[in-house]
Amino acid sequence: MNPIILFVIFGAFLGTAGQFLLKALSSKTTLDFSSGFLRNFFGLAKEPIAYFAFLAYVASTVFYLKALKTTELGATYSVFIGITILLTFFGGILFLRESVSILKILGCFLILIGIVLVLGR
């Protein structure tokens, strides 16, 4: 396996972790913007989960940039986002008990086919 794809995969895992942390953060806050955007923003900054989510996204970006250094933007971005979508979808089913439908499964299958086609260049 190409070592660069490992950077993309690890970055996608970290990006997915960031998504799950943001989901957890969203359940801890009201996000009532009637009291003002800045008040809500600084209220979120008091939550430790927000920092972990931020760190996950920063680390994800570092691995993505490492992969971009020697690969094509279009292919790398497509694979990175595709893997992130698949991990988030299946993680949501496994850990958050999110709904599954035949259309969602078909969509994921099409994304997987796209990843395979892009990597098979």
Domain count across the chain:
1
Range of the domain at 96: 3-119
| pLDDT mean over 13-23 | 96
Whole-angstrom Cα distance, residue 48 to residue 62? Answer: 21
Per-residue confidence band for 46, with pLDDT thresholds at 50, 70 and 90: confident
Q: Is pLDDT at 28 greater than 80 in this prediction?
A: no
Whole-angstrom Cα distance, residue 68 to residue 85? Answer: 19
Q: Look at 83 and 30; give whichever has higher pLDDT.
A: 83
Residues 58-72 pLDDT 10s? 999 999 999 999 999
pTM confidence score: 0.86
Q: Is pLDDT at 33 greater than 70 in this prediction?
A: no
Whole-angstrom Cα distance, residue 15 to residue 81? Answer: 9
Reference 90, options 98, 78, 101, 82; nearest CA is 98
Tokens of 79: 């694979």
Q: Is pLDDT at 1 greater than 90 in this prediction?
A: no
Residues 78-117 pLDDT 10s? 999 999 999 999 999 999 999 999 999 999 999 999 999 9
Whole-angstrom Cα distance, residue 3 to residue 15? Answer: 19
